Structure 1
Amino acid sequence: MRIVVWGINYAPEPTGIAPFNTGLAEYLAGQGHEVAVVTGFPYYPQWKRAADTRGKFFADERRGNVSVHRCWLYVPGVATTVRRIAHELSFGLVSFFRALALRRADIYVVISPPLVLGFFAWMLTRLKGSRYVFHVQDLQPDAAVGLQMIKGGAFIRALYALERFAYRHAAGVSGISDGMMAAFADKGVPLHRRIYFPNWLRGPDTDGERPLSFRERYGVPADALLAVYAGNLGRKQGIDILLETARLLESREKTDPAARRIRLIIIGSGAGRAELEANLAGAKLENVQLLPLLNDEDYSAMLKESDVGLITQAAGTGQFFFPSKLLSTLRAGLPVITVADEGSELARAVADGGFGQNIPPGRADLLAESLRAVSADPLLRRTWAARTQWVRQFSPALVLPLFQQRLELLVDETRQGPGWPVRQRELSHP
């Protein structure tokens, strides 16, 4: 097959959607397919293009067996709602013309966000006589409503209309979680076009010889309970709860040995980092640190030497995206304490797997108490850690071949014509 993966993020961006877009393209190319990628110039998570890419409108490169075609896009210095819309529209329009200039693909895998790519994919495939799969990493309209990022009924209705349009014209609509599959059903996507395609475990195993001590480098005592958040620092993550938790723990240190042993580290970049940095400086807390993104060696060391992974979501967002950082955290054998709506995908995963505890958003007191309980009870921590094997179901050896099979079915369907029977089935969960 000739396949085009079309998405705004790609390597060398280290976090977010880019590693999964990259992994998918490289896997398909490794299976003997001809794969091209239409993407933007790297900018995430710093929201800043590298100096050597500024002034370029298009650029082509070869990364392994994949042809990568990069396009100009507007990158705002501050990612407000209006500027983010302009950012996504700019990529959609420019990348449409770049994809149009490429040779026709048998199937286009279109990654959302940006949601607007669904409209451009429909135009492209109509012109090319092909089809597209719309792969949803984030239910953008629902998340925007949940976070109250967009006000005004007309605009929200327009977003939902754009979403319906993208789903209706796609040969398949794929999502990364059970909740998304249910949402697709509610939004009218028929069973035979719904594809379960979860994010998968990625990166090297953390077994083997340990790099230089992460704790020594950042002044974390050997007997401290080290709880770490690593990932995007944006509005959806609701990171402020970690600072409030640190304040509560510090206030108890004189009378509570378990609280005194806890250290928090926040690692990452994103639109909310500057505000978080200012708040942290003003709070003058000694039990929490803010670090930049880590290289692979330091990230591996951090996972090995931490005791608990922290994963947070703002209230009202848990139904609409699933944090891939859960997978890498569990793969390292780390139990987790999460902050998410009770009905969210993240909360359900914690309940099903038994590898940690979920705390409702806004309850820093409960998060502090949960950390204190883990600090005081090593057996609880070991029990949670033993249950992290739940994550093995997301092995790339299970997930990626199933998605490739679904693409092959769709291409066969196209070649056989509209009379060829559709297989009325949904891919089983790995």
Structure 2
Amino acid sequence: MEIFPNSIEPIDSKTTKSTNYELKDKYQIPHRANLFIYGGNLGKPQGPDFLLKVIENFYKVDNSFLLIVGSGTEYEKIKHFIETTHPKNVGLVQFLPKIEYDQLLKIADVGLIFLDRRFTIPNFPSRLTSYLEYSIPILAATDKHTDLKDILNQSKSGLWCESEDIDSFITLARKLANNEMLRKEMGEKWKELFRRTL
């Protein structure tokens, strides 16, 4: 299986502290918060009901902020949920130009992937490539048939749980939030995987 297209290359993700703070201020992200980012489609295939559970429970992840960037058939449902429940440390943005989204990826600490647990054939989310370019560790909540689970486990470049197990998701998110060294090690594993694959 080809994991990465030849056009994908790691990108230098260094930013100055002032740039980091400017971006966080723009999206109302606390300066010291770990940024968990999801970028991509917000439709039925992403398992929106589980995503709502993540939004509802994300306050349990200390010193962290969840930013969801995307659009799709379930966007209004997610927006309504956020507007009515006022979850702590969660933001939603419908659309961003690629250059602005890439700036956010430069300061992101964890990239999120969601797929509905009812998938029965292997899926490899296309949005993964953006995270790979910036060597961002992955936290994936998907169906158990996905190839991504095996790739993350074997390469040690991210963490995985099934997308119906909110307790496991929060536990893994807290593990990443509380361990900067682990996040850096996982980012380096992505780079190693690039070198072996391309």
- The TM-score range, normalised by the shorter chain, is 0.7 to 0.9
Structure index of larger Rg: 1
Q: What residue identity is the alignment partner of 1:300?
A: D
Tell me if structure 2 keeps the 8 A contact 1:318–1:340: no
Moved more, 298-307 or 198-207: 198-207
* Map of 1:214 onto structure 2: 23
* Map of 1:323 onto structure 2: 125
* CA displacement at 1:394 relative to structure 2: 5.9
CA distance in 1, matches of 2:13, 2:36: 22
Q: Does 1:229 pair with 2:32?
A: no
Q: What residue identity is the alignment partner of 2:46?
A: Q
Tell me if structure 2 keeps the 8 A contact 1:319–1:345: no
CA, structure 1 residues 377+309, in 2 after alignment: closer, same or farther (shift >3 Å)?
same
CA distance in 2, matches of 1:293, 1:326: 18
CA distance in 1, matches of 2:15, 2:174: 27
Q: Percent identity?
A: 24
* TM-score of the superposed pair, with normalisation by structure 2: 0.86
**Residues 326-365 of structure 1: pairs in structure 2 closer than 5 A:** 326-365=128-167
Q: What residue identity is the alignment partner of 1:200?
A: P
Name the SS for the 1:268 alignment partner. strand
* CA displacement at 1:384 relative to structure 2: 1.2
**Ranges in structure 2 where 5+ consecutive residues have no aligned partner:** none
CA, structure 1 residues 226+327, in 2 after alignment: closer, same or farther (shift >3 Å)?
same
Name the SS for the 1:322 alignment partner. coil
* CA displacement at 1:340 relative to structure 2: 1.5
CA, structure 1 residues 386+205, in 2 after alignment: closer, same or farther (shift >3 Å)?
closer
**Ranges in structure 1 where 5+ consecutive residues have no aligned partner:** 1-177, 179-196, 253-258, 396-430
CA, structure 1 residues 352+298, in 2 after alignment: closer, same or farther (shift >3 Å)?
same
CA distance in 2, matches of 1:376, 1:342: 26
* Map of 1:311 onto structure 2: 113
* CA displacement at 1:305 relative to structure 2: 0.5
CA, structure 1 residues 248+381, in 2 after alignment: closer, same or farther (shift >3 Å)?
same
Greater than 6 Å deviation, 4+ residue runs: none
CA distance in 1, matches of 2:89, 2:34: 11
* Map of 1:367 onto structure 2: 169
Question: CA RMSD for the aligned pairs?
Answer: 2.4
Q: Does 1:241 pair with 2:44?
A: no
Q: Does 1:200 pair with 2:2?
A: no
CA distance in 1, matches of 2:126, 2:195: 14
CA, structure 1 residues 376+264, in 2 after alignment: closer, same or farther (shift >3 Å)?
same
In the alignment of these two chains, the number of paired residues is: 193
CA distance in 1, matches of 2:176, 2:130: 21
* Map of 1:399 onto structure 2: none
* Map of 1:287 onto structure 2: 89
* TM-score of the superposed pair, with normalisation by structure 1: 0.42
